Structure 1
Amino acid sequence: MKVACVGGGPAGLYLSILLKRLHPGHEVTVHERNPEGATYGWGVTYWRPLLDRLREHDPESARAIEDASVGWRDGLARVGELTTRHRGDEGFGIGRHRLLEILAGRARALGVDLRFGHEVTAPPAADLVVAADGAGSALRSRYPGHFGTEVRPGRNRYVWLGTTKVFDAFTFSFVSTGHGWIWAYGYRFSPERSTFVVECAPGTWTGLGLDRAPEADGRALLEDLFADVLDGRPLTGRPAAVGGAAPWAPFRTLTNRTWSRGNLVLLGDAAHTTHYSVGAGTTLALEDAMSLAAALRAHPAVPDALAHYEQDRRPALLPVQSAARYSAQWYENLPRYIHLPPERMFALLGQRHSPLLPYLPPHWYYRLDRAAGQSEALRRFKRWLGPKVARTAYRRRPA
């Protein structure tokens, strides 16, 4: 089979690896519009279950990814001058550039034809065409009526930066300004570097002048606001020529009514996006690739394989998409939680995926959650009540 994969991000590269491992005779080509080594962002996050799945599908690339990753278990929240730390699940960070380098090297070793600096805007001639070209997919955009693409922008603004401050825990920092709160998520992705994502409400963004400040001046202001958590280290922006969301854009949640058209199929961000605050984007993209490769192995006819791929992935995505939606809303409603004692605020930060949390007073939810930790019956009740309350509130929402 001849396969053309448009987009050389994690989803497209990993799919090419899996297809060549399963079927060495396949002719697999990856077309990437950017030069090799050019990428947006700093580090990406993932958790232990993904690493286990990567080992099942391609042990060699999994070993290289694990060796190039750094880990943490603690989460730290800093609200003004108050700090609280909690033990959590094992998380990992890896530089996006390093991840792509590993996947590209593995793909080449298996015989994949990688074509960098090669922009494709129309489906190439192939038995299977994979649109792995991101949320702004040129291939998907050729057929908007067919795919039924919907984009819902969030309310808050964010910017993705890097720093030489190396965090020893996944760090949340909340800073009060004369124009409202501004906050950051910091996590290391190498022994020398960390990602630093800054977010705020629109009024804070404009009140601080970040909407009109030159990029360097905006970074200088953020360095001053977050000087304590950064230990005075500088922030770095991405090169202007590299793609990705524009600085201080609202996050755009993208969905599609269907994921395939004939022999064209959507993969990763071209099919769906989830808010960055749940740290699942790269994991979902790699899992898409696993699912599509398995469907193509089990169903030789391409239309059947694409139908099974979508049937497999849609239900698997629902819990993550729900968690991402509630997580984004938690930050959009930050004033509801920020004045709680730090340990309670951090506990509810960890519960931000709950469909029940927005509909109970925060102190009530905190007590219920603490009690549920000691009672299986209460845990079951909480799991049952959350979706029920959320559905009722949605039905009562004004048109």
Structure 2
Amino acid sequence: MKVVCVGAGPAGLYFAILAKRRDPSAEVCVLERNPEGVTYGWGVTFSDDVLDSLYAGDPESAARIRDDPASWGDQLVTLGDQAPAHLGGYGFAIGRHRLLEILAERAVELGVRISYRHQVEDLAEFADADLIVAADGANSAIRERYVERFGTQREAGRNHYIWLGTSKVFPEFRYAFEPTEAGWIWFYAYPFDHQTTTFIVECAPATWTGLGFDRLDPEQTKAALERIFARHLDGHPLLVQSRDQHMSPWLHFTWITNQAWYHGNLVLAGDAAHTTHFSIGNGTKLAIDDAIELDRQVGRQPDLDAAVAAYQQERIAAVGARQRIARASAAWFEDVEDFTERSPTRFAYSLRTRTDSSRPAPGGVPWLLHLATQSSLGRQGRRWLSAARRWRRNGQRGAAS
């Protein structure tokens, strides 16, 4: 069997790993347009569910990922200069560069061929391939060649956002909302190694224009944001990554859906097939799950036609459910100024639920748990329960630590 994966992101690399593990005699290659070691992005978040999936697919690479990430045991929400509220919970993050490095190393160990600086211009190049996986990102050039066959739909979100980093290493996942003369602006931040934190800034269009970001270059943008968030950064700089240093890297989130996920032996995976808003942090999870499901169907179905059809059916349903959650989350942030007059505790609860929870049920368990989390004793109890849960799940994976 000959498999070609276009794109050396999580979906392409992980499917290559799984395909080679399932059939060591298969000829599997990954083609990446960028040079080796060049990737854009900061840290990516993941959860215990992602680790469970990784261990089920390839324990070797999962163990390397588990040993590498940063983690946090609380989520902190600040609303202006008021006392912060707590959300509790824990999570993990790893640098995107490091994640892809681990997956690429593992793929090569298994005999996968990775070709960098390889721009795919014509699929006729792979006329002898049994399966071609288009995992070349949200702006997939391969998908766009067959956009009518896939029924691709693109929809831009309303808010502006910018994906930055900072040398300030936050000890927890942080949401911070700051009022300005032009409206509210906020960031999401989480550590992903010992030196760097991902720092995503978002605001409404009127705020973006009112603060002059439509006229500022990357360095001016960075300086303006450092001033706005100075009390959170403690003198640390923001860090900018941009392919074009003359273009300010503000974006509108783009929703991508496809009515079909395959055309002949060409299959979509990862962001080429779907996107979910960054506020729920599921991009890497869904890419990994795509790879796992595609490999599972290839291994169990009588032929490739049946495999890709079953893959499409399973993943469209699963991803659709996550996209509905992501749309509710994005909508909450687009309307965030409707909630900023609340107390920090109630505002944080609304953020947690991504709903207009202005009057939470007094006896509701989620609300009572949220109230308990605001006390140091309650947070200590949640951290103890989280540690026990993590230990148990590590043991179930055969990797207790």
Pairwise CA distance, 1:246: 7.3
The question of whether the paired residues in 1 share the 8 Å contact of 2:178 and 2:186 is answered with yes
Is residue 81 of structure 2 the alignment partner of residue 86 of structure 1?
no
Count of residues in correspondence between the two structures: 364
Residue of structure 2 aligned with 1:228, choices 231, 245, 267: 231
Unaligned runs of 5+ in 1: 376-399
The residue matched to 1:286 in structure 2 has which SS? helix
1:341 and 1:13 mapped to 2: Cα distance? 45
* RMSD after superposition: 1.7
The residue matched to 2:40 in structure 1 has which SS? coil
* Structure 1 counterpart of 2:391: none
1:344-399 CA-to-partner distances (Å, cap 9, x unmatched) read 100110001xxxx35xxx422x236x525489xxxxxxxxxxxxxxxxxxxxxxxx
Aligned-pair identity (%): 49
Is residue 365 of structure 2 the alignment partner of residue 367 of structure 1?
no
Pairwise CA distance, 1:315: 1.8
| Counterpart mapping for 1:89-128 below 5 A | 89-123=89-123, 124-125=126-127, 126-128=129-131
Distance change (3 Å), C-alpha of 1:374 and 1:204? closer
| Counterpart mapping for 1:205-220 below 5 A | 205-220=208-223
* Structure 2 counterpart of 1:389: none
Pairwise CA distance, 1:144: 1.3
* Structure 2 counterpart of 1:287: 289
* Structure 1 counterpart of 2:380: none
Pairwise CA distance, 1:145: 1.1
The residue matched to 1:224 in structure 2 has which SS? helix
1:61 and 1:314 mapped to 2: Cα distance? 27
* Structure 2 counterpart of 1:313: 315
The residue matched to 2:307 in structure 1 has which SS? helix
* Structure 1 counterpart of 2:385: none
Which letter does structure 1 place at the counterpart of 2:77?
A
Which letter does structure 1 place at the counterpart of 2:96?
R
1:192 and 1:146 mapped to 2: Cα distance? 45
* Structure 2 counterpart of 1:391: none
Q: TM-score under structure 1 normalisation? A: 0.88
2:275 and 2:141 mapped to 1: Cα distance? 16
1:142-198 CA-to-partner distances (Å, cap 9, x unmatched) read 111111100110000000001111111110011111100000000000011100000
Distance change (3 Å), C-alpha of 1:274 and 1:173? same
Residue of structure 1 aligned with 2:335, choices 308, 333, 339: 333
| Counterpart mapping for 1:1-399 below 5 A | 1-123=1-123, 124-125=126-127, 126-240=129-243, 247-352=249-354, 357-358=355-356, 362-364=357-359, 366-367=360-361, 371-373=364-366
1:80 and 1:117 mapped to 2: Cα distance? 46
The residue matched to 1:338 in structure 2 has which SS? coil
The question of whether the paired residues in 2 share the 8 Å contact of 1:48 and 1:90 is answered with no
Pairwise CA distance, 1:122: 2.5
Task: Please list every run of at least 4 consecutive aligned residues from structure 1 whose deviation after the TM superposition is greater than 4 angstroms.
Answer: none
* Structure 1 counterpart of 2:372: none
Pairwise CA distance, 1:85: 3.8
2:244 and 2:307 mapped to 1: Cα distance? 37
1:81-135 CA-to-partner distances (Å, cap 9, x unmatched) read 1232425332000000000000000000000000011010322221111100011
2:20 and 2:159 mapped to 1: Cα distance? 42
The question of whether the paired residues in 2 share the 8 Å contact of 1:30 and 1:114 is answered with yes
Pairwise CA distance, 1:301: 1.1
The question of whether the paired residues in 1 share the 8 Å contact of 2:85 and 2:344 is answered with no
Q: TM-score under structure 2 normalisation? A: 0.88
The question of whether the paired residues in 2 share the 8 Å contact of 1:73 and 1:87 is answered with no
1:23 and 1:137 mapped to 2: Cα distance? 27
Which letter does structure 2 place at the counterpart of 1:194?
T
